[in-house]
Structure 1
Amino acid sequence: MRLSGYLVGASIVSLAAAITGFDEECAPYSFHSTGYDDEIPFPYFNSTEETALFIRCAETTYECDPAIHGSAWFMIDSKTEAVPEDCYKEVYGLHPYDNYTGPISMPGLTELSGCGISGTYEYVGDTYEQVAVYPSNVTSVDLPDVVSIQSGIVIDNANSITSLNVPELRDLVHLILNFTGGPPINLTFPRLYNVYAIEIYGEIDTLDFHSLNKTSTTIFVNSTGNLDCDAFAKSVVNTTSYYLEETGVSCTSKMGTVNLTHVEPPIPEVTSGAFKIQGGFLTMTALLGYILAL
């Protein structure tokens, strides 16, 4: 028994030694590091110079059972290392600072807890109507390998963005994009499959959800561009939920306004003949069961 216990203990120590401890360089992006103020609601991404570090931290930070490993946080590259069963990936959020300037490009990043890009609003008077608006200086967003964003993408007061590229994105909760006042922008989401809510504003000429399967609320689009709202609404209205009253698509552009509602499809009627066949089948099944029981 002592030998067995020794071997188990040795294996635990060996396993703990096999994974790399938490890298404090990742502290500014993580809720749970030892060197970061946990009272800040989420970590901020500061500059383009931090891109490689942010990707590495986001892809390799794991929380593990401290009873096994002696600590909770580790760096594990799942592409080249085995991930212990008790370890779970820490999913980071992407939130640039208000003064962030330039493009955001993160190839290799595969998952986010959320993505929020916004300018700032400052109250300059005694009422809520007296507000100074300072737009975001982000110029483009390129996340070519991101598959999942848990809470969603919220881009607001961002009139400098010329492109948004998320070709592999499949699942998220909210897609809220406000490019009002900015340059023309074409938006395509080729793999987006499930999303709870969609709201999009800006000078949009092209908007495509090629693989969209399900949304849960009305899709709102307000474009100052030449978006064909009729074609767009028809292409996505059946993805909206018909369980909620008046759910569908509301789209406005230079070409006009279109409002479509997803109507619940009729329930197929079952003919009396089908009932007779089904009834006869059930009768024969019952009779056969009775005979076999004899």
Structure 2
Amino acid sequence: MIDNKTEAVPEDCYKEVYGLHPYDNYTGPISMPGLTELSGCGISGTYEYVGDTYKQVAVYPSNVTSVDLPDVVSIQSGIVIDNANSITSLNVPELRASLNVPKLRDLVHLLLNFTGGPPINLTFPRLYDVYAIEIYGEIDTLDFHSLNKTSTTIFVNSTGNLDCDAFAKSVVNTTSYYLEETGVSCTSKMGTVNLTHVEPPIPEVTSGAFKIQGGSLTLTALLGYILAL
């Protein structure tokens, strides 16, 4: 094994990226400073399949209490946290997108289910390119300061005092208007807000005239003037 902090990495060395998937019985915080890249991050409790339809039922929730990944920039398949009602904080301040997979730049999924857990405030200051966002839990603060694009409707269901109106307005224009009814659906103690991203109108060119020093010159005259120079 090569320590890239103290040793030179050979040019033909193959880089293997792993995921973060703790065992079901893991208890306590997860903190991994210095880690910059993951293939995926999945944290969930124990499930069983019951009945003739093999319905998935949560049996034991995850005992992870916090997740601190202060240097992670890329998580190729995103973050999925489910059946995890002990988590008090999620810290991924540098997470952006799948920067190392240019053709799959919007692959990141952000699916977070903290239902039944303590209050949690979530901020993603540098995340800009996401395929899907679904978040559940007692959330008072939710911020995507740099979000630029999502491909599906953003779903948020909070049992806290999240200002859904302000949140929806801040991110609705990041959703794709190519898909019908794509936008933001947000519910909290303060009410429910549903916004749809409407395609902006295409500007119409109604005149071929240009103003020059207070006057007006048609496109034909302007071209003739240029050719005569």
Distance 1:221 1:188 in 2: 14
2:32 is aligned with 1:124: no
How is 1:49-60 mapped onto 2 (pairs within 5 angstroms)? none
| Cα contact 1:114–1:152 (8 A) shared by 2 | yes
Assess, with a 3 A threshold, how the Cα gap between structure 1 residues 241 and 280 changes in structure 2: closer, same or farther.
Answer: farther
User: Can you list the C-alpha shifts for 1:133-154, whole angstroms capped at 9, x where unaligned?
Assistant: 2111111100001011011000
| Cα contact 2:87–2:117 (8 A) shared by 1 | yes
Alignment correspondent of 2:20: 94
User: Can you list the C-alpha shifts for 1:36-91, whole angstroms capped at 9, x where unaligned?
Assistant: xxxxxxxxxxxxxxxxxxxxxxxxxxxxxxxxxxxxxxx33334443333333211
Alignment correspondent of 1:106: 32
Higher helix content, 1 or 2: 1
User: Can you list the C-alpha shifts for 1:129-172, whole angstroms capped at 9, x where unaligned?
Assistant: 58452111111100001011011000000011111000119975
The TM-score normalised by the length of structure 2 is 0.83
Of 148-157 and 278-287, the range deviating more from structure 2: 278-287
| Cα contact 2:162–2:189 (8 A) shared by 1 | yes
1:103 partner SS: strand
| Cα contact 1:173–1:196 (8 A) shared by 2 | yes
| Cα contact 1:123–1:130 (8 A) shared by 2 | yes
1:249 partner SS: strand
Assess, with a 3 A threshold, how the Cα gap between structure 1 residues 272 and 108 changes in structure 2: closer, same or farther.
Answer: same
> What's the CA shift for 1:272?
1.8
> What's the CA shift for 1:242?
0.8
> What's the CA shift for 1:284?
9.4
Distance 1:151 1:90 in 2: 15
> What's the CA shift for 1:276?
11
| Cα contact 1:170–1:192 (8 A) shared by 2 | no
Distance 1:253 1:290 in 2: 63
Distance 1:132 1:291 in 2: 74
> What's the CA shift for 1:196?
0.6
Assess, with a 3 A threshold, how the Cα gap between structure 1 residues 271 and 88 changes in structure 2: closer, same or farther.
Answer: farther
| Cα contact 1:143–1:166 (8 A) shared by 2 | yes
Assess, with a 3 A threshold, how the Cα gap between structure 1 residues 128 and 233 changes in structure 2: closer, same or farther.
Answer: same
Of 164-173 and 260-269, the range deviating more from structure 2: 164-173
In the alignment, structure 2 segments of 5+ residues that lack a partner are: 95-103
> What's the CA shift for 1:173?
1.4
> What's the CA shift for 1:265?
0.9
| Cα contact 2:137–2:160 (8 A) shared by 1 | yes
The TM-score normalised by the length of structure 1 is 0.66
Distance 1:130 1:274 in 2: 66
Distance 1:289 1:95 in 2: 69
Higher relative contact order (CA 8 A, sep 6+): 2
| Cα contact 2:211–2:217 (8 A) shared by 1 | no
| Cα contact 1:119–1:157 (8 A) shared by 2 | yes
Assess, with a 3 A threshold, how the Cα gap between structure 1 residues 285 and 270 changes in structure 2: closer, same or farther.
Answer: closer
Distance 1:281 1:270 in 2: 16
Root mean square deviation, CA, Å: 3.7
Alignment correspondent of 1:222: 157
Alignment correspondent of 1:198: 133
| Cα contact 2:208–2:218 (8 A) shared by 1 | no
Assess, with a 3 A threshold, how the Cα gap between structure 1 residues 277 and 268 changes in structure 2: closer, same or farther.
Answer: farther
2:212 partner SS: helix
2:222 partner SS: helix
2:157 partner SS: strand
Distance 1:245 1:100 in 2: 42
| Cα contact 2:58–2:83 (8 A) shared by 1 | no
Radius of gyration: which is bigger? Answer: 1
| Cα contact 2:106–2:131 (8 A) shared by 1 | no
Aligned pairs, number:
220
